[in-house]
Amino acid sequence: MAPHREPISVRTTRLNNIILNKVCFAGLGGNGAIQKKSIATAARRSVYGTGVVSNVLTETVTREGLLDALYVLYNECNKESLKKRDRSIAEFVNKYRPIMEETQQLRANAEDFIIKTLIGKGYFGNVHLVRERQTNDVYAMKKIKKSVVTTSQVKEERDIMARRSSEWITNLQYAFQDEDNLYLIMEFLPGGDLLSLMSRHGPFDEELARFYLAELTMAIHSLHEMGYVHRDIKPENILIDRFGHIKLADFGNAAALDRDGHVFSLSPVGTPDYIAPELLQTISTYKLTKSMHDVSCDFWSMGIIGYELICEITPFHEDNVHETYSKILSHCEDSHLKEIITFPEDLKVSENYKNFIASLVTNPSKRLTYDKIKVHPFFKLIKWETLRSRAPPIIPTVNGDDDTSNFEDVVRNKRRTDTFVKKSLTTNVPSNDFCGKDLPFIGYSFVYMAKHDVDAEGTADDTRYGRLNNKIKDLQSNLKQRLEEISSLNQQLRRYEQTAKQSDTQSKILQDAKDEIKKMKNIIKEKTMELAGCKTQIKTLQSSVKVEEEMWEKKEATITELLRVNRQKYEEAKIASEQRYEKLIAEKKHELENIIRNWITEKLN
């Protein structure tokens, strides 16, 4: 008896939905990234309708992946030696040449972007601030030479950012490639990186360090929850958004965890000053488990950053990197913590802070885990659930969406650029025969909007989501202005109170001053109520955004033209609102000046 099969129409519909990335299944995100919980259930099947679709199929057979495969096939066939050797190949190339040319014009490519400024340099490639030609949207573009990377490096980095599942991870908008290079178009975070902030601010106090280490803890844990370990945590790879919160970046050395939460490595990876001892074991006699490490290596690097934040230098730094490695390894072998890691004598450091750093910069078996970090006394006052919604202690100054003033000169200190990297197995040697050099990069291309259908329902969701985000930004700006107004009014109140004390013998003047103080207190009370209202609205809207974000993954995305019109309307409404608000401030200011002027006149008369 023949096995039961569904009708052709049903199977065709399912295949079409897979290609358009419409299939949703529990436990895994899109774009092939592996979550920690899904590692142990990699063979799990997902159901769409009444049929069963494998995870491998839904992750591999995508629109962009199929176009990549067609592009590679065409380029391999489009060689003179092959076309002369086989007539079928020549006919194939001639038939598909106009199709490929038009397809490449429709797909995202480097010509869509105007390069503005270099904002980062690394071994794998450079990062530029770019602007999309047609929409004027600003992004950060990382250009990577295919000849210097391995397939796993580009896959992990692309997959992690393409997931867009964590507010602590830099988001990917597009990924594409040409003959020699890979391109990642990422969100631009105008706050710069942590290294630049450290350079501008100088040594941090413990309160300031506590905030950034708490956010770094959450960011690292979110990556671990996705099933990856970063392995190159350092200040340059910690970016700051326009509101002052951090996001992790540069996942070129990241690795996927196995089902036991480990990574096997044949060579060390990372940056000398921040590398964990277990990552150096392949070049030393230091043995933990043969060529194996886990997520705790990222927390070692966080401990090094914690020391650097208040001391402005890493604890094991030497001009000779081999001496740095030796100090790192001997630190764990000897276990004499206080003899190796010492703080400057003139620096006041709490015992909790010292213990926290010591509990991270130690052997893996003794190193704090995420759960223990959260309950460490150093973080006693941190509210982890609301950390992302808390106002950061330093809010970057941003003058425009393409402002790069918060980024330090891209020429870094040499010790920061000596990074272990895996050697590429690819070659760019030209060949007239089939060489397959681009086969490893099939499926690399990515378009964020490609996984959604562009229909009315999706458009409404995206519009509503954007509107809520824009309103939150407006309210946050309004909140900041209200705080400034309250501060100014408090200063005036203090001046009036001082005047009242000095005029104790003049009852009439004293009474007038008290009346003015009462008026000012009423004004402050009104502004405080407005402030409380703004805070309540922000919390409500933030909750709404979270709900909308959950719905966002289940529904389909938006129409670009409608977004552009909504954005234009928003800008016009914002300008009109700002003009009305400035006019109201001017009127209030003028009214207050008249009251003060009249009062002074009455006193003088």
Known binding residues for ATP = 142
Alpha-carbon gap, residue 103 to 515, rounded angstroms:
75
Neighbours of 440 (CB within 10 A): 19
Annotation: binding site? 142
Tell me the residue type at 110: A
The pair of structure tokens assigned to 45 is 């099947």
List the structure tokens of 563. 């977004």
**21 neighbors 62 (Cβ within 8 angstroms):** yes
Active-site residue, from 68, 159, 193, 232: 232
Instruction: Report the SS3 class of residue 84.
Output: helix
**Residue 481 in tokens:** 């202005």
Q: Where are the alpha helices (DSSP H) in 378-432?
A: 414-417
Q: What is the Cα–Cα distance from 563 to 458, expressed in whole angstroms?
A: 12
> What is the rounded CA–CA span in Å between residue 468 and residue 440?
41
Rounded CA gap, 508 and 364, in Å?
74
Contact assessment for residue 223 and residue 229, using Cβ atoms and an 8 Å cutoff: yes
On whether the CB atoms of residues 62 and 443 are closer than 8 A, the answer is: yes
Q: E strands of 16-151, at which residues?
A: 45-48, 51-54, 113-121, 125-132, 138-145
Nearest to 162 by CA among 153, 171, 150: 171
Q: Which residues pair with 228 in a beta bridge?
A: 256
- Residue 112 annotated to the active site: no
Collapsed DSSP state (helix, strand, coil) of residue 175: strand
As beta bridge partners, residue 47 has 52
3-state secondary structure of 348: coil
With beta carbons less than 8 A apart as the criterion, state whether 466 and 569 touch: no
Distance CA 367, CA 365 (A): 6
Residue 523: other Cβ atoms inside 10 A: 17
Would strands 172-177 and 138-145 be described as parallel, antiparallel, or unpaired?
Answer: unpaired
Residues 175 and 446 sit within 8 Å (Cβ to Cβ): yes
Q: How many residues does the chain have?
A: 605
Under a CB-based contact definition with an 8 Å cutoff, are residues 194 and 234 in contact?
no
Active site residues: 232
